[in-house]
Each structure stands twice: as structure tokens, then as C-alpha cells.
Amino acid sequence: MFEDFITDRVDVGETELFVRYGGSGTPTLLLHGHPRTHATWHRVAPLLAAHHTVICPDLRGYGRSGKPPTTPDHAPYSKRAMAGDMLVLMRALGHDRFAVAGHDRGSYVAHRLAVDHPQAVTRLAVMDGIPIGEALARTDAKFAAAWWHWFFLGQTDKPAERVINADPDAWYRATAEQMGEEAYEDYLRAIHDPRTVHAMCEDYRAGLGVDRAADDADRAAGRRVTCPTLFLWAAKDDMEDLYGDPLQVWRSWADDVCGHPIDAGHHIAEEAPDELAAALLAFLRAP
């Protein structure tokens, strides 16, 4: 897994990130979702690395990255804090300007990075996620039934950690066949660490509070993504059921949007790596 990639730990100020990077060419940052780690990209990253320098970190709180102390407002696990980590990481690796691609929770970090640091982000690719503020504003019975875990993980009165830590394998039901043996081992190590489970819940708590407030403030101020934006979604997931044409949703947040579905379930990088890599490569080399 990640043959010829460098494995490193990088101090980004508030915490330390575990990261793998390799390849050559223009830099591209890949951000995983919940409950995955950087290893979700292990089938895609080598295909991109033939043309680009590819950087795959564990987000703060996830995998083998640091887990900063929590606060009552959950801001240490905000997408703004995570995006700040990525800016420091990329600069530490010598990249002042770079493309970023994010899946699931990583898509929210990528979006925040593009809005907060437009001078750094050359291209934005997002997969299976619309902005948190938009998703919560549109929440109805259909969304609540399908994505109830947002609200279960996000509440604090009866912490979800106790339920998850009682049987992580029953709660998170990935398989080695789906992920690949080494990626699955990395995932198992993460979900069996109570500190990681707590941090992942904090990610969702931040999502319902400070992250939504940040998106709402952007919309009120007219702040948008100004770089070219690619949105890809899993055809076997529920993006279209929930939002109709998700490209139209993204066009209300970004100036230059293109995209299409990919014939896969939610974890696109694991289920359709060749198609995903081809779509990303075409987007990254577009004029």
C-alpha cells in the first residue's frame, strides 16, 4: 500500500498529522471521510502520482493524527481548524498553491479550505457532500431518516461514544474485501481507539454548530468558491434522491462547477478507483 510514498508526521501547530506523500508534478491534497483514514485513497493515489505530487493525510482526530483537547463549542474539530491544518501541512511540504479533493467529511474540509484560503487552492474537487450549511437548511424527514447518524453523533447529552465503543465492529461495518487488507487494518486500528471515536463524534458536533455558522456567514456575505470546482457523486448513494441535481446545489456556492455521477456506492475511492482517478486527472489537467 502506497508503494514509493514517504510516510511522515508533520507538526501543524495545534496538533501533529500523519501523512503519506509521493509522485511528482503539481501538488494534489486528498482528504478522506468518516470513519476512514488516509488509506481510503490507496488505490487512487498511485494513479494520480504518475502525474502529480499526491499528499494523503489523516485529518486531525482521525487515524494516526493527533487528537487535540475538546472544548464546549467543539471548535477544535471544526472544518476551519482542519482546513488550517492542511494549509500548514502543505506549506511545510513546500506547496504554497495546490489542488484539493475531499470525500464525505473531507469534502467539508476541502470546501472550507477553498473559501478561507483562495490564494492557496487552485482547484477544488468534492465527492458525496454538499456544504454543511446547505444540507442542514434542507433537512427534512427523508434526510433525517437516511442520515440520522449526523444527529446521533452530534448530540452530547447521551454521548454516542459509549454505544460505539461497546462494539466498534458492529457499528462500523466495512470489510477487508471492500477496502483492501492493509487499508482495512488501518481502519480497524482507528475505530478501536476510543480517542479516535470521540474525535470523530466531535467532528459531527462541530458540523451542527460552528461549521454551519461558518457556512451561513459565507452565504450572508456572498463569499463563494472562486476556483474551478468538480463535484462527483456515487450513483448508488442518495445524492440525487435528496437533492435532485446536486450540481445545481453546488452552483449556488461556487462560480465554476462541473461534474457527474460515478457508478459506485458511497466509498468511491475503494469501489471505483480507476474511474475516480480518471475523472480527477481530467479535471486537474483541464485549462
Which pLDDT does position 21 carry in this prediction? 98
Which pLDDT does position 286 carry in this prediction? 87
Pick the catalytic residue: 117, 216, 238, 266?
Answer: 266
CATH T-level topology, domain 6-285: Rossmann fold (3.40.50)
Which pLDDT does position 40 carry in this prediction? 98
Which pLDDT does position 77 carry in this prediction? 98
Pick the catalytic residue: 74, 95, 103, 104?
Answer: 104
Which pLDDT does position 287 carry in this prediction? 76
Dihedral over alpha carbons 53, 115, 68, 70 (to 10 degrees): -160
CA–CA separation, 189 and 186 (whole Å): 5
Q: Structural domain boundaries of the chain?
A: 6-285
Which cell numbers hold the place of 88?
A: 500548514
What's the predicted TM-score (pTM) here?
0.97
Name the residue with cell 472544548. Answer: 71
Which pLDDT does position 122 carry in this prediction? 98
Examine the residue annotation and report whether 266 is marked as an active-site residue of this protein.
Answer: yes
Q: Which helix (H) or strand (E) holds 257?
A: strand 257-262
**pLDDT tens string for the chain (287 positions)?**
999 999 999 999 999 999 999 999 999 999 999 999 999 999 999 999 999 999 999 999 999 999 999 999 999 999 999 999 999 999 999 999 999 999 999 999 999 999 999 999 999 999 999 999 999 999 999 999 999 999 999 999 889 999 999 999 999 999 999 999 999 999 999 999 999 999 999 999 999 999 999 999 999 999 999 999 999 999 999 999 999 999 999 999 999 999 999 999 999 999 999 999 999 999 999 87
Alpha helices in 18-167 (DSSP H): 45-49, 79-92, 105-116, 132-137, 141-146, 149-154, 160-166
Residues 39 and 271 sit within 8 Å (Cβ to Cβ) = no
Q: Measure Cα distances from 247 to 22, 40, 155, 214, 243 in Å.
A: 31, 24, 30, 21, 9
Which cell numbers hold the place of 111?
A: 470546501
Q: Which of 94, 93, 21 is nearest to 55 (CA)?
A: 21
